[in-house]
């Protein structure tokens, strides 16, 4: 496995891969890798001749500087995990390499980019689109792999791919959430949880799972209110938002349509750590 910090060096390497008609898969990450990331990398390795994993903590998608400062940085451990997973190349550039000058491009894809995380974190998805589009241009993959934990992000990225004219040459591959045995979705932020915070965090998915059966005999509003009340009843957990939405448009629904998803963000602990998850009610 090779590690590149410069765009031109990675592109030169990939030039020779393409010359040999090798397919290239991309797994974009911000580092602090875990089993969820590993599942994306392993799938890319299975489906492509060459796998590139980017490890870049993108500052433009953080609207909270404190959140950016707290985000774990574990490049050495990340590289070991990636080598074990069979990745071919790691792209770990500096901020200056990706943004030699301020990125003034503005992306907005309503309603997918303006609801939920888009409303709560102004500028977040614009920053995501800035860095992901740059990675697509640099790597030129045939497939890019994203975890369903960041479910809304996938919807936004699909809109981005269409907008930048890559829809016919780039497949966005959605990969299932990887969870710990107690149900907590794997996340780089989990390592920031204190032991007592980690012990209560699984209650989020437990409540969401219980609410699926509850929804079979109750309305959308009743299901929404029960989820919020049950999670807020746990000392140390506080719901920032919970929305039950159409799985395609991400707009709120009032009835149980054909494809309905519940999306939640919860503050855990005193710091607090912001955890996201979702559940599919109707498919």
Binding region for ATP: 30-37, 147-150, 178, 186-189
In this prediction, residue 63 carries a pLDDT of 86
Q: In this structure, are 123 and 40 located in the same domain?
A: yes
3-state secondary structure of 61: helix
- pLDDT value for 65: 86
Of 121, 141, 175, which closes a domain? 175
The Cα–Cα gap between 126 and 106 comes to 6
Indicate the number of domains in the chain: 2
Residue 199 domain boundaries: 188-281
Q: Which residues are annotated as a binding site?
A: 30-37, 61, 147-150, 153, 178, 186-189
Q: Exactly one of 37, 124, 224, 278 is catalytic; which is it? A: 37
Q: Give the chain's residues under pLDDT 70.
A: none
Query: Does some domain include residue 273?
Result: yes
Are 9 and 124 part of one and the same domain?
yes
Confidence (pLDDT) at 254: 95
Q: What is the pLDDT of residue 257?
A: 87
- Residues 126, 56 within the same domain: yes
204 located within any domain: yes
Bind-site residues for beta-alanine: 61
C-alpha torsion 45→51→56→59, nearest 10: -90
Question: Which residues are 89's β-sheet partners?
Answer: 2, 52
10 shares its domain with 97: yes
Residue 106 appears among annotated catalytic residues: no
| Residues 64 and 203 both lie in one domain | no
Cα dihedral 43→45→51→52 (10° resolution)? 50
Judgement on whether residues 156 and 195 belong to the same structural domain of the protein: no
Can you give the pLDDT at residue 245?
96
Neighbours of 194 (CB within 10 A): 13
Q: What is the pLDDT of residues 204-250, one digit of tens each?
A: 999 999 999 999 999 999 999 999 999 999 999 999 999 999 999 99
Looking at the domain assignment, is residue 150 inside a domain?
yes
Same domain for 35 and 154: yes
Using CA atoms, how far apart are residues 281 and 278, in angstroms rounded to an integer?
10
């Amino acid at each position: 496995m090779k590690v590149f910090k410069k765009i031109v060096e990675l592109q030169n390497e990939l030039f020779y891969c393409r010359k040999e008609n090798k397919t290239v898969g991309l797994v974009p990450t911000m580092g602090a890798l875990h089993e969820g990331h590993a599942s994306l990398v392993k799938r890319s390795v299975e489906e492509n001749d060459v796998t590139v994993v980017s490890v870049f903590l993108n500052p433009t998608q953080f609207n909270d500087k404190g959140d950016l400062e707290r985000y774990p940085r574990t490049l050495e451990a990340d590289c070991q995990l990636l080598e074990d997973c069979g990745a071919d190349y790691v792209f770990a550039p500096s901020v200056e390499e990706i943004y030699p000058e301020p990125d003034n491009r503005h992306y907005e894809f309503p309603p997918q980019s303006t609801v939920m995380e888009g409303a709560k974190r102004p500028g977040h998805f614009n920053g995501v689109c800035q860095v992901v589009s740059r990675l697509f241009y640099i790597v030129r993959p045939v497939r890019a792999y994203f975890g369903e934990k960041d479910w809304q992000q996938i919807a936004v990225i699909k809109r981005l791919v269409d907008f930048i004219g890559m829809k016919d040459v780039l497949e966005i591959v959605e990969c299932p959430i990887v969870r710990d045995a107690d149900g907590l979705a794997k996340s780089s932020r989990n390592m920031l949880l204190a032991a007592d915070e980690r012990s209560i965090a699984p209650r989020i998915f437990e409540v969401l799972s219980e609410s699926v059966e509850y929804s079979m005999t109750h309305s959308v509003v009743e299901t929404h209110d029960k989820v919020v009340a049950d999670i807020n009843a746990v000392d140390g957990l506080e719901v920032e938002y919970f929305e039950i939405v159409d799985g395609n448009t991400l707009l709120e629904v009032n009835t149980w349509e054909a494809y309905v998803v519940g999306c939640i963000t919860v503050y855990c602990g005193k710091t607090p750590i912001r955890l996201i998850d979702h559940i599919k009610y109707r498919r």
